[in-house]
Amino acid sequence: YDLTLITIATENKKTVALTAKLFLTLFLLSLAIACTKKEKKILVFSKTEGYRHTSIEAGIEALKKLGAENGFKVTATEDARYFEEDSLKQYAAVVFLSTSGDILDDLQQADLERFIQAGGGFVGIHESVTSEPDWPWYYKLVGAHFDGHAKVQEATLNIIDKNHPSTSSLEPIWVKTDEWYNFKDIDPDIKVVIEVDEDSYEGGKNGAHHPIS
C-alpha cells in the first residue's frame, strides 16, 4: 500500500494545529493499513541537504504530541542510517518532515523501496517534495516534482473528496495562510483530496486543478 501525498505546510506555528488534524488522520490510516500486529511506531525523518524550514522543530513536537494522544510512538531523527531493512521493519510508517536535497544513499533508497513494497506507510510533508531530485521511484511515491512556490499568503482550499478519512472532518472550503507549492511532472495516478484555488492567491502555476494534498 502506497500512501501517496503532495502536502501543504506551515511556517506559522499558529496553523500547526489546524494542519496537524489533516495529517493525524493520514497517520492513523497509514498505521492501521501498514501492520496491525506491530507496535504502532512511526519514523519521523527531517534531514536537510538544502533549504531548512524553521517549522521542522515545531513539526516534530506536534507529531510527538499526536502520538502521545493517539497511541503511537514517534522516533525523530536526521540519521539516514535508520534506513536499513532491519531498522525500518519496526516502524509502521515513515514521515519525511520537510526533508530536502540528497538525503539517502543508494542502499538506503533500496531499503526504503522494500519497506513501502512490503506494506509500510509513507507521509511526505511540505519540502519533502524537493528531496532526492534524481530518484524517479521517489517521485512516483510523492506524486510530483517541486516547481517553486508563491509568497506566503492566504488562499482558498477546495476539499475534492469529503469521503476520504483525512478530509471527512473538514468543511468543503478551507481558507488558510501558507506557502503554496507549484508542481511539475504530476503523476496522473495520484489520488487528490484537496486542491488550492489559484484565483484566490497570486503565484499559482498549475491551473484550474492544482493539487495540494
Contact 31, 42 (CB under 8 A): yes
Give the model's pLDDT for residue 75. 98
> What DSSP assignment string belongs to 147-167?
EEEPPSEEEEEEES-TTSTTT
pLDDT for 6-32, tens place per residue? 444 445 555 555 566 566 666 666 666
Contact 150, 200 (CB under 8 A): no
- In order along its 213 residues, the chain shows pLDDT tens digits of 334 444 444 455 555 555 665 666 666 666 665 555 556 999 999 999 999 999 999 999 999 999 999 999 999 999 999 999 999 999 999 999 999 999 999 999 999 999 999 999 999 999 999 999 999 999 999 999 999 999 999 999 999 999 999 999 999 999 999 999 999 999 999 999 999 999 999 999 999 999 999
Contact 120, 91 (CB under 8 A): yes
Which grid cell is 105?
544513499
Amino acid present at 12: N
The residue with cell 517549522 is 55
Strands of 90-197 (E only): list them.
Answer: 93-97, 121-125, 145-149, 153-159, 173-178, 181-184, 194-197
Give the model's pLDDT for residue 3. 40
- Spatial separation of the C-alpha atoms in residues 13 and 4, rounded to whole Å: 25
pTM of the model: 0.81
